[in-house]
């Protein structure tokens, strides 16, 4: 996808109702310099509306600077503040050390590891899956000072 296409897609996403199902993607920009540096998103399916699967992508020159942690934290807060979600999941290739570290820093815990479950770039890769429950996020918020909202779905 070209940058202009991505910008148009993300602009359309901003018009979606909070309760809409499917992918909800958010653009990530630096405060001091407009322009897309990455994206975070969540997939919420109509068949399991209390579960979401989150993910992210950041341009190589913006990785390792804390943007993913800040945006990922905001995404998780959005998921739990605007939707009655019980559970969030995320997964990546075992070799993706940056995403593994990010999932742990966001408070997700490892639940599974699969063997040769993702075909990518011409070969099979192992994957790891992480998860976070609403109650675990609330507990993290009390300990880490991350909470900036009152839970509308106790």
Number of domains in the chain: 1
Q: Are strands 87-93 and 51-58 parallel, antiparallel or unpaired?
A: parallel
pLDDT digits (tens, 9 = 90+) for 88-130: 999 999 999 999 999 999 999 999 999 999 999 999 999 999 9
Spatial neighbors of 128 by CB under 8 A, at least 6 apart, are 91, 92, 93, 94, 100, 110, 112, 113, 114
Alpha-carbon span 9 to 29, nearest angstrom: 15
Print the domain residue range for 77.
Answer: 3-144
Contact 40, 78 (CB under 8 A): no
Dihedral sign, CA of 50, 106, 43, 36? Answer: positive
pTM of the entire predicted model = 0.82
Q: Is residue 150 part of a domain?
A: no
Tell me the CATH number at 88: 3.40.630.30
Q: Is residue 101 part of a domain?
A: yes
Q: Is residue 152 part of a domain?
A: no
Q: Is residue 140 part of a domain?
A: yes
Q: Is residue 28 part of a domain?
A: yes
pLDDT band at 149 (very low <50, low <70, confident <90, very high): very low
């Amino acid at each position: 996808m070209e940058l202009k296409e991505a910008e148009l897609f993300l602009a359309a996403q901003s018009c979606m109702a909070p309760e809409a199902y499917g992918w909800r993607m958010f653009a990530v920009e630096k405060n001091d310099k407009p322009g897309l540096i990455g994206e975070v998103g969540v997939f919420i399916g109509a068949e399991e509306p209390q579960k979401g699967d989150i993910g992210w992508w950041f341009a190589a020159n913006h990785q390792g600077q804390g943007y993913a942690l800040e945006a990922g934290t905001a995404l998780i807060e959005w998921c739990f503040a605007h939707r009655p979600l019980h559970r969030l999941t995320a997964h990546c290739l075992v070799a993706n050390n940056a995403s593994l570290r990010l999932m742990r820093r966001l408070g997700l815990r490892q639940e599974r590891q699969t063997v040769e479950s993702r075909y990518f770039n011409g070969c099979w890769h192992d994957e790891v899956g992480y998860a976070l429950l609403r109650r675990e996020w609330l507990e993290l918020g009390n300990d880490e000072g991350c909470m900036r909202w009152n839970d509308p779905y106790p």
